[in-house]
Amino acid sequence: MRNFRALPESVELHPCAPAQGRDGKEDEGARARRLSEHVLRIREKIDMLARKNYPKVFSAEHRDRNYLPVTAMFVGYEAPLLEALKAEPSLWKRAADNNVILA
C-alpha cells in the first residue's frame, strides 16, 4: 500500500502534470479541468492588468519620461504558459488587444 500525503487547497498543481486516478492511471478529465482553470486564471490576470492601465499611471506620475504603452505579464515558468497558449491560442490576441505582453 502506498502512502499518500494530502496537499492543502492553496497548493497549485502544475496544469500539465499527470493527474492520477484511484487505479494509478492518468486521469485526462482531471488534467483537462486543471488546464482550463489555468487558462481562466491567465485570462483573468490579463484583464486585471489591462484595467490597471500601468502605462497611463506611470506617464502621469513621471511626465519627464516616456513609457511604452504596454504592460508585461511575467509568468515564472514557461511550460504552463505554453500549455495554456496551446489550449487557447486566443490568449495572445487577448493580451495584445489589451496592451499586455506575455513574458
Domain boundaries, the chain: 28-102
Q: Is the pLDDT of residue 2 over 70?
A: no
pLDDT digits (tens, 9 = 90+) for 27-70: 788 888 999 999 999 999 999 999 988 877 777 777 777 777 88
Q: Which residues on neighbouring strands pair with residue 100, listed in sequence order?
A: 71
Inter-residue contact 103 to 59 (CB < 8 Å): no
pLDDT reported for residue 6: 40
In terms of phi and psi (left: phi > 0; alpha: psi -120 to 50; beta: otherwise), the region of 2 is beta
**Helix, strand, coil % (nearest 5) of the chain?**
50, 10, 45
Look at residue 26 and give its three-state secondary structure.
Answer: strand
For residue 21 the three cell numbers come to 486516478
Q: Give the confidence band of 91 by pLDDT, cuts at 50, 70, 90.
A: very high
